[in-house]
């Protein structure tokens, strides 16, 4: 049952991934992304339904447009697969949630008896994953995190935290724990990146990274944000060094930091508590 359900979620995920590709394209070209039909970005031929099946169309068309035979970017199938995998992961985490490592139990609440809140959590995690995927791809390609992506993400996280804090009943304790502390965490993380941006005149970090760090604090809370930031810097350093050694980039060339923050966020969301427990076992 779990496998069939996971498969359905995966198919749903790759369809959402297909939509995310479309959002990215329309952000790049400053078009509204709620209107208009899909077309080939190279020859602008309107695509038929059988050109638009996630992953499969790419395989059957051998990565080329049916009409102009130009290459379809690998971004399309990769984003689709990544979204599918993330949705399956979220689904499995949310419903195995009742295990001790879940991000929600670690926030001190168990929701096993509350299906409505489970559904909200599931929806929220899926939506912020979409925002994070958009940020990953856009920053990687264009070295910028658009306000059109990061501001709605921040607003969503604030609203979610607020409803989370008052869901059962309003108490100052819950409000502090689920709304105020994540807000402080976000302010701290965002402030840290803002300082890096200020001191380096935008050379080490962009202002978008500061906004993303603020969002990370809101959705991860403390101390998980530390795990995510540490991993982002670690992975960034390893890949940066790899690129310099393989001479794909020079020491002076820039590397967008957003993708590393996104990867760190996902690891923190899924395995943050396990990593913290593992780390604490050494002390």
Residues at the contact surface with Zn ion, assessed by CB under 5 A:
40, 42-43, 65, 67-68
Report whether 165 contacts 178 (CB < 8 A).
yes
- In the complex, the smallest distance separating the C-beta of residue 71 from Zn ion, rounded to whole angstroms, is 10
Whole-number CA gyration radius for the chain: 20
Residue 37 CB, nearest approach to Zn ion (Å): 14
Given the complex with Zn ion, which of 71 and 148 has the nearer CB atom?
71
Give the whole-angstrom CA distance, residue 111 versus residue 123.
15
Helix axes 181-199, 224-245, angle to 10 degrees: 30
Helix axes 147-166, 115-142, angle to 10 degrees: 160
Residue pair 89/19 in contact (Cβ under 8 Å)? The answer is: no
Which DSSP letter does residue 39 get? B
How many residues does the structure list for the chain? 283
Q: Which is nearer to Zn ion, 43 or 199 (CB)?
A: 43
Nearest alpha-carbon partner for 22 in 62, 70, 79, 88? 79
Tokens in use for 85? Answer: 């995998």
* Structural tokens at position 172: 């100052």
Give the nearer residue to Zn ion in terms of CB position, either 38 or 117: 38
What is the C-alpha to C-alpha distance for residues 157 and 162, in angstroms, rounded to an integer? Answer: 8
Least distance in angstroms from the C-beta of 27 to Zn ion = 20
Q: For 46, phi and psi rounded to 5 degrees?
A: -65, 135
For the bound state, the minimum distance from the C-beta of residue 23 to Zn ion, rounded and expressed in Å, comes to: 20
Give whichever of 40 and 239 is closer to Zn ion, judged by the CB atom: 40
Q: Smallest distance, Å, CB 47 to Zn ion?
A: 9
> Cα(199)–Cα(260) distance, rounded to whole angstroms?
21
CB of 53 to Zn ion, least distance (A): 16
Which is nearer to Zn ion, 42 or 141 (by Cβ)? 42
């Amino acid at each position: 049952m779990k496998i069939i359900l996971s498969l359905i979620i995966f198919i749903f995920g790759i369809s959402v991934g297909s939509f995310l590709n479309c959002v990215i394209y329309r952000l790049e070209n400053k078009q509204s992304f709620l209107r208009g039909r899909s077309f080939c970005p190279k020859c602008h031929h309107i695509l038929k339904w059988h050109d638009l099946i996630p992953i499969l169309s790419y395989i059957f068309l051998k990565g080329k447009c049916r009409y102009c035979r130009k290459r379809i970017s690998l971004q399309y199938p990769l984003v689709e697969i990544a979204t599918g995998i993330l949705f399956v992961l979220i689904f499995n985490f949310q419903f195995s949630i009742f295990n001790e490592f879940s991000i929600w139990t670690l926030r001190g609440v168990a929701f096993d008896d509350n299906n409505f809140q489970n559904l909200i959590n599931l929806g929220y995690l899926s939506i912020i994953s979409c925002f994070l995927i958009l940020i990953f791809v856009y920053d990687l390609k264009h070295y910028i995190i658009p306000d059109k992506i990061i501001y709605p993400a921040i607003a969503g996280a604030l609203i979610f935290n607020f409803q989370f804090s008052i869901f059962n009943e309003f108490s100052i304790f819950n409000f502090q724990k689920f709304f105020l502390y994540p807000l402080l965490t976000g302010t701290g993380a965002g402030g840290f990146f803002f300082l890096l941006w200020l001191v380096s005149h935008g050379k080490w970090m962009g202002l978008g990274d500061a906004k993303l760090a603020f969002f990370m604090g809101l959705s991860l809370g403390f101390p998980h944000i530390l795990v995510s930031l540490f991993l982002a810097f670690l992975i960034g350093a390893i890949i940066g060094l790899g690129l310099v050694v393989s001479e794909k980039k020079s020491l002076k060339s820039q590397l967008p930091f957003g993708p590393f923050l996104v990867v760190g966020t996902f690891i923190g969301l899924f395995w943050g508590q396990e990593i913290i427990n593992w780390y604490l076992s050494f002390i």
